Amino acid sequence: MNQEFAGYSITRSISGGGMTKLYVAIDAQQTRYVIRVLDSVMAKDRRNRHRFFHGGEVLAKMHTPQRHPNIVPFVKAGYENKTAYMVLEYIESRTLRDLILFREPLLTDNVMIFIRQLANVIQYVHARGYLHLDIKPENILIQPDGRLVLIDFDLALPRKRFFKKLATVSGTTAYVPPETLVNRVADDRADIYAFGICCYEMLTFRKPYEGEKIDQVRAAQIDPKVPPTPIRQLNPNIPVALANIVMKCIAKNPEDRYPDMVLVLRDLNKLS
């Protein structure tokens, strides 16, 4: 990529996702932004282009009529010399994955604050009529002041009252619930499951199902005879009430999960 792109000056690259490359850039006023560029190979598939721009459209809706402090702000999207790109406001932050990997005091000292922020922003996304469907620590930014910011809405789909049949199963396996992996269906409880897995990791630095290969993790997730490791077995200091909330969120049978994030928030707010 050239130093100049779509009216911005590229200053450096940062790690991106599977479909995109990320760059930090500045405009004429020296304001920093993040530019997401769709990988040229991925861009050859019309479905990938649609998914990419769809994510920007959903982001824009999340900030209408007013901005939400826990969702990355969308600026614009388009093409530059046939290259698909999206501009987002720059957020000084680290990913939740980084904080988990290094067991940062910012996380360990404020874990309930992050759990509540994440629950609130997911509930907001649902209230605006969408499922996120890609909630994971890599898509959660944590600012130095402790503000949590949810990113990457490329997989977001309109929310339905009943199971929605998906064309394909996307997302990261460890955060995809069994019913989606097996039957390609999803509703609110898919995001609730992913939320629970994120909470589990924040509280234990482990996942409830682990393996050296993705296939091993997937097999454990979908096998009804393999229960998730009880969270208090890994961290007995977790209060029983909080442990119950997390374990209910990651129940294998969706009927055993919370049906709505409003109920998750209700029980979180009961905790001291």
What tokens does 271 get?
């905790």
Q: Which long-range contacts (CB under 8 A, 24 or more apart) does 250-258 make?
A: 250/193, 250/196, 250/197, 250/200, 250/208, 252/177, 252/178, 252/221, 252/224, 252/227, 252/228, 253/224, 254/177, 254/179, 254/187, 254/189, 254/193, 257/189, 257/192, 257/193, 258/189, 258/192
The closest of 42, 36, 48 to 75, measured between CA atoms, is: 36
Of 109, 134, 145, 256, catalytic: 134
Respond yes or no: is residue 134 known to be catalytic: yes
Q: By three-state DSSP, how is residue 165 classified?
A: strand
User: Phi and psi (nearest 5°) for 5?
Assistant: -150, 120
183, amino acid identity: N
Would you please indicate which residues are annotated as catalytic (active-site) residues?
A: 134
